[in-house]
Amino acid sequence: FTKSHKAIPVADQGWKEGEPVPYAALVSTFESIEATTKRLEILSLLTQFFLVVAKRDTATDAKNSSLLKVVYLCINRLCPDYMGIELGIGESLIVKAIAESTGRAAPKIKDDFRKEGDLGKVAMMSRNTQPTMFKPKPLTVPSVFQNLTEIAKATGNSSQAKKVGIIKKLLSACQGMEAKFIVRSLEGKLRIGLADKTLVVALAHAIVLKEIGDKRMSPEKLAAMLEQGAEKVKAIYSELPNYDLIVPALLKGGIEGLAENCKLTPGVPLKPMLAKPTKAIGEVLDRFEGKEFTCEYKYDGERAQVHLLEDGTVAVFSRNSEDMSGKYPDLVEQIPRCVKEGVKSFVIDAEAVAYDLETKKLLPFQDLSRRKRKDVRTEDITVRVHLFAFDLLYLNGESLITKDLRSRRALLYENFKPVEGEFDFAKSSDGTTTEEIGAFLEESVKDGCEGLMVKMLTTENSTYEPSRRSMNWLKLKKDYLAGIGDSLDLVVIGAYHGKGKRTSVYGAFLLACYDPDSENYQTICKIGTGFSEEILQQFYEQLQPLEIAVVRGDVEVGGAKPDVWFEPKVVWEVLTADLSLSPVYTAAHGLADARGISLRFPRFIKVRDDKNAEEATTAEQVSEFYQRQVTAAGKKKGGGEMD
């Protein structure tokens, strides 16, 4: 056991068999996880807590499973992403609830918050100063989960008061460290450095260990079983990212039974496969040398995963698994026309592009992004949406993701048909020389696309890899070939007051990338040139409501000193000439170099409102960009060939 996992005693906080999991037991695990940065230690802590819970969890349905609730509280969610019930309560409401539940004045709480930078800690400190008149009933995992769900679901006129009421009730019952995590959950982030990938592995390990029970075996065999278990659960989770289905199935049938009960299902969006950037056609050829590959137009629209369920329902999901059926009622209505007879269910991966019916030309993405996100009425639609399908992931009851791209594409062509102005297959070319690719790239740009996607076509390397940024899909963006090969999507976390004419708006902004391993935002550059007065005004209106009193605890600030801080919500696409090591900014520090990395001459391209802050460019990607630049510069110096 110790070879795979460090044995760490689980603090169960006096949890008795047959009783619900005490919230204090979960909180004590959070505390231990927060206290370490070692990934393996975090994995051990979580695995062992999950194991204790799994052993005692007799429920095999989603509603009653304690393990499921524990899993959700660990990732700070209440249901699968696409169902859209989210926490993320504003700072002022939480301050109000803390004030009312502790009897302290709100301005004092804000003051403490300014000093601490962590409202969770402030809530805990505020509680500790209160004399306890009676011992409140301890919080349990199911009761906390239930209350958080009610808060997230509260809507309408009296919802604010209702939310404050429930938060007060929860805070009054908190003991020890609990208030800290209740508040962080409410804010939408636990900040304990627990990555989603670690959670999936911990869950798998706990189930494997539960199945093994007291059986003895060699450490090597155990390690192998743990690894296989983790691979299986990861694979299933990427096809069916829904713990409501996976956790009960694991409790019921263990690792072996999982594949039988859980597989890609129309109606449950899977995380899309992503591409790696390239700087030159030569790089593409190096990567795919001797292999069969295909080039497709890279349409400039919005990713759309379209599902047809057996009951005839059409659902459209965005890049981050949001249900977009309300934004695209026209698309939902169009879909049946492009499906050939005999098709009962499917999942296609596609790009939804704005389209001008009269000129029969593609329009820029911005024309579509002006649409509201929900409840769009068909009669209000002015810009049509044209779907370009590039992959088929599921057809008539069968998952296709392990087939090669050539076969998936053949099935796509066989079962769907183009409809003018509504549906078509992504235009492709199988030309493989530099000249052919170059010509196709030019053509794509002329037709209003961003460039090309180059994909492995046959062999085992051309399966569909959900949620992975894969080397088997390369993007070649025409505009960006001169820079670092791609743009970056960065979070706006702060701003600097304008000068001269710009005093009533922000004049410059502080941007950050995201590091999913530490769950922190890392500063990367200040951007302040090239904005028109009009756009600065727009940004001010959008960002001003996101101003917060102090920088959040999950921002690695470095030497940046903006005048105001924001809740990390807004994502901008930014282009840069190149990257340099920086004594000021913290992006990707410790990866390519101990120092952080910064953008030189950053230029704003557009707002990415299809991405949330946690989907911003990652620290690892920033480091990859930097390393590629260093390698290219080295080649140049050494007289190597530059494309």
Dihedral of the alpha carbons of 84, 86, 91, 92, in degrees to the nearest 10: 70
CB 318 within 8 A of CB 478: no
603-607 and 547-548 beta bridge pairing? unpaired
Q: Is 521 in the site for ligand ATP (CB under 6 A)?
A: no
Interacting span for ligand ATP (CB under 6 A) from 135-143, 293-301, 491-499, 545-553: 293-301
Q: Is 299 in the site for ligand ATP (CB under 6 A)?
A: yes
Q: Smallest gap, in angstroms, from Cβ of residue 492 to ligand ATP?
A: 16
Query: Residue type for 41, please?
Result: E
Q: Among 209, 203, 305, which residue's Cα sits nearest to residue 262?
A: 203
Q: Least Å distance between CB 296 and ligand ATP?
A: 4
Q: What does the DSSP 8-state code read for residue 545?
A: G
Which SS3 state, helix, strand or coil, does residue 521 take?
strand
CB of 369 to ligand ATP, least distance (A): 13
Binding mask 249-288 for ligand ATP (x = CB under 6 A): -----------------------x-xx-------------
Work out how close the CB of 351 gets to ligand ATP at its nearest, in angstroms, rounded to a whole number: 4
The count of chain residues that interact with ligand ATP, using the rule CB under 6 A, is 15
Q: Which range of residues in 72-80, 147-155, 297-305, 593-601 is near ligand ATP by CB under 6 A?
A: 297-305
Stretch that binds ligand ATP, among 296-304, 403-411, 429-437, 531-539 (CB under 6 A): 296-304
The yes or no reply on residue 168 touching ligand ATP (CB under 6 A) is no
Between CA 42 and CA 53 the distance in angstroms is 17
One character per residue 315-344, x = contact with ligand ATP (rule: CB under 6 A): ----x-------------------------
Catalytic site residue from 189, 298, 403, 477: 298
**Which secondary-structure segment (H or E) carries 392?**
strand 384-395
Strands, E assignment, 571-639: 571-575, 578-582, 596-600, 603-607
Could you give the CA distance from residue 349 to residue 392 in angstroms, rounded to a whole number? 6
Minimum CB distance to ligand ATP smaller for 489 or for 624 = 489
CB of 297 to ligand ATP, least distance (A): 6
- Between 66 and 278, CB nearer to ligand ATP: 278
Residue 178 vs 296, nearer CB to ligand ATP: 296
Q: At its nearest, how many Å lie between ligand ATP and the CB of residue 515?
A: 15
| Distances in whole angstroms, Cα of residue 72 to Cα of each of 68, 153, 156, 348, 597 | 6, 16, 26, 28, 34
The pair of structure tokens assigned to 163 is: 């939310």
Q: What minimum distance in Å lies between the beta carbon of 90 and ligand ATP?
A: 28
Give the interface segment with ligand ATP, choosing from 119-127, 141-149, 195-203, 292-300 (CB under 6 A). 292-300
Nearest residue to the partner ligand ATP, using Cβ: 303
By the 10 Å C-beta count (0-12 exposed, 13-18 middle, 19+ buried), 169 is classed as middle
Q: Which helix (H) or strand (E) holds 444?
A: helix 434-446
- Yes or no: say if 543 and 570 are a contact pair by the CB < 8 Å rule: yes
Q: Are 297 and 426 within 8 A, CB to CB? A: yes
Which lies closer to ligand ATP via its Cβ, residue 505 or residue 524?
524
- Say how far apart CA 423 and CA 335 lie, in whole Å: 8
Q: How far is CA 278 from CA 272, 302, 448, 465, in A?
A: 19, 21, 20, 19
Q: How many residues does the chain have?
A: 643
Nearer to ligand ATP, 22 or 272 (CB): 272
Q: Work out the end-to-end distance of the chain between its first and last CA atoms, rounded to an integer number of angstroms.
A: 52
Q: Which is nearer to ligand ATP, 230 or 453 (CB)?
A: 453
Question: Interface with ligand ATP includes 303 (CB under 6 A)?
Answer: yes
DSSP assignment letter at 613: G
**Among 453, 493, 613, 632, contact with ligand ATP (rule: CB under 6 A):** 453
Alpha helices in 58-156 (DSSP H): 66-75, 91-102, 106-116, 119-128, 141-153
Answer for which of 351, 404, 554, 624 binds ligand ATP (CB under 6 A) is 351
Minimum distance from residue 538 beta carbon to ligand ATP (Å):
22
* Coil, helix or strand at residue 451: strand
Question: Taking the mean position of all CA atoms in its chain, how far away is CA 290?
Answer: 34
Options 18-26, 295-303, 325-333, 493-501: segment touching ligand ATP (CB under 6 A)? 295-303
- Judged by CB under 6 A, the chain residues 378 through 417 that form the site for ligand ATP are 390
The 488-517 contact track toward ligand ATP, x by CB under 6 A, reads: -x----------------------------
Quote the least distance from Cβ 590 to ligand ATP, whole Å. Answer: 22
What distances in angstroms separate CA 47 from CA 11, 20, 199, 521, 627, one per listed residue? 13, 19, 8, 27, 35
Among 296, 465, 515, 624, binds ligand ATP (CB under 6 A): 296
* CA-based radius of gyration for the chain: 26
Task: Give the phi and the psi of residue 519 in degrees, each rounded to 5.
Answer: 60, 30
- Choose, by CB under 6 A, the member of 179, 209, 395, 426 that binds ligand ATP: 426
- Which of these segments, 226-234, 298-306, 553-561, 574-582, binds ligand ATP (CB under 6 A)? 298-306
Least Å distance, CB 541 to ligand ATP, is 25
Q: Least distance from C-beta 298 to ligand ATP, angstroms?
A: 4
Task: Show the DSSP H helices in 544-594 as ranges.
Answer: none
Which CB sits closer to ligand ATP, 29 or 444? 444
**19: exposed, middle or buried (C-beta count within 10 Å: 0-12, 13-18, 19+)?**
exposed
Nearest residue (CB) to ligand ATP, 91 versus 443: 443
- Give 598's strand partners: 580
For the segment 195-224, give every residue that binds ligand ATP (CB under 6 A).
none
Position 56 contacts ligand ATP (CB under 6 A):
no
Give whichever of 52 and 490 is closer to ligand ATP, judged by the CB atom.
Answer: 490
By CB under 6 A, residue 475 contacts ligand ATP? yes
Based on the residue annotation, tell me whether 298 is a catalytic residue of this protein: yes
Instruction: Return the active site residues.
Output: 298
- Give contact residues for ligand ATP (rule: CB under 6 A): 272, 274-275, 296-299, 303, 319, 351, 390, 426, 453, 475, 489
